[in-house]
């Protein structure tokens, strides 16, 4: 009998209760079309910040029933990939209105009754939380979501205020917070540090999770070590979505040699909790992503040369439950 490490790893994960997908955007799953793909000016070739606006046309024309159909397709796929628990962000803003959120509430019920899966919801704040109209939708979503979602980059130049709004909401609602940070693989970005300091300032240690943290690996070793200590002090946990950023574009900025991925090879030994997420599935951000968590885990372990099986199982299961507040 030959030993197959990848198959053995998967068996251990299924034996530990199955995958926890700690970060996704199921509401936009399978929204990419053939017209989005070809050519240098194709939608899929645009920069991240441009795509935040480009999804508007699709969001505007999508009904609650369509949203429900996209979400439940994604959930059925997730079930086949061995996911038992998932957290999806859901657009709730002046463009999507509350249609995606209403569909997500129904999808949550569908997951529980039809698929025996636990689905948790977080609000996606693509229009920020500072503009009064966007803020109104954020506050509407607050009562319905399980986790408060944030995207400081959506309030560019006012990131600190964005974090203050999220963290004040966390205090009053007693809900956990997940924030997209350091996505650009760029040493000029220091959003994880900014988030960790805000968490400590608000006294919310252990209640906040950073999603991505790609740019951390662009920093010097001394900065990274100081940052890990700061994150420990803040009880800041992480979600790595490897497939989401391994496609970071070539540029001429000189940084320490690294892969564009959350650096778990340093974070896990530094005592930080890191979970695993699929992020986008077949939308204009990631047209070929299918949400297979084993593929995500394989990308993570390969790109960081991280072979500790016990820790990999934890990343795929227990750590996910921890960042979702389920343990
Ligand atoms: Zn995301």
Summarize pLDDT for 96-123 with one digit per residue, the tens.
999 999 999 999 999 999 999 999 999 9
Residue 211 alpha carbon to ligand 1 centre in Å: 7
pTM, rounded to two decimals: 0.96
The pLDDT of residue 110 is 98
Contacts of 62 (CB under 8 A, 6+ apart): 31, 70, 96, 99, 100
For residue range 175-212, list pLDDT tens digits in order: 999 999 999 999 999 999 999 999 999 999 999 999 99
Residue 127 alpha carbon to ligand 1 centre in Å: 14
- Tell me the average pLDDT across 166-173: 98
The pLDDT of residue 88 is 98
Is the model's pLDDT at 40 over the cut of 70?
Answer: no
The token pair that represents 104 in the structure block: 């997500």
Is the model's pLDDT at 260 over the cut of 90?
Answer: yes
Residue 280 alpha carbon to ligand 1 centre in Å: 7
What domains does the chain contain, in order, with CATH numbers? 5-323 (3.20.20.140)
CB 108 within 8 A of CB 85: no
Residue 232 alpha carbon to ligand 1 centre in Å: 23
Residue 3 alpha carbon to ligand 1 centre in Å: 35
Residue 246 alpha carbon to ligand 1 centre in Å: 14
Phi, psi of 169 (to 5 degrees): -65, -35
Taking Cα atoms as reference points, which of 158, 97, 98, 149 lies closest to residue 124?
A: 149
The pLDDT of residue 241 is 98
Confidence of residue 38 (pLDDT cuts 50, 70, 90): confident
Is the model's pLDDT at 57 over the cut of 90?
Answer: no
């Amino acid at each position: 009998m030959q030993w197959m490490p990848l198959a053995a790893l998967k068996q251990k994960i299924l034996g530990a209760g199955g995958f926890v997908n700690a970060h996704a955007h199921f509401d936009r799953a399978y929204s990419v079309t053939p017209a989005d793909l070809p050519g240098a000016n194709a939608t899929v070739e645009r920069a991240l910040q441009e795509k935040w606006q480009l999804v508007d046309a699709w969001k505007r024309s999508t009904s609650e029933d369509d949203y429900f159909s996209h979400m439940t397709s994604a959930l059925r796929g997730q079930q086949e990939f061995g996911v038992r628990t998932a957290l999806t962000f859901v657009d709730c803003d002046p463009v999507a209105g509350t249609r995606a959120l209403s569909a997500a509430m129904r999808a949550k019920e569908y997951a529980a009754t039809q698929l025996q899966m636990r689905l948790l919801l977080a609000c996606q704040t693509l229009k920020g939380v500072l503009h009064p109209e966007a803020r109104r939708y954020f506050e509407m979503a607050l009562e319905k979501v399980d986790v408060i979602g944030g995207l400081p980059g959506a309030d560019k130049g006012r990131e600190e205020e964005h974090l203050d709004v999220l963290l004040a909401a966390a205090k009053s609602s007693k809900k956990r917070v997940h924030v997209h940070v350091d996505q650009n693989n760029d040493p000029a970005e220091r959003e994880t540090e900014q988030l960790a300091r805000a968490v400590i300032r608000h006294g919310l240690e252990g209640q906040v999770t950073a999603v991505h943290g790609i740019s951390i690996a662009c920093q010097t070793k001394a900065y990274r070590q100081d940052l890990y200590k700061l994150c420990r002090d803040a009880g800041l946990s992480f979600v790595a979505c490897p497939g989401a950023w391994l496609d970071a574009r070539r540029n001429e900025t000189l940084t320490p040699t690294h892969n564009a991925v959350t650096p778990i090879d340093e974070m896990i030994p530094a005592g930080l909790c890191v979970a695993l997420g699929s992020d986008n599935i077949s939308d204009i951000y990631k047209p070929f992503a299918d949400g297979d968590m084993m593929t995500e885990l394989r990308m993570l372990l390969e790109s960081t040369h991280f072979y500790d099986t016990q820790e990999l199982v934890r990343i795929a299961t227990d750590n996910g439950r921890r960042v979702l507040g389920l343990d």
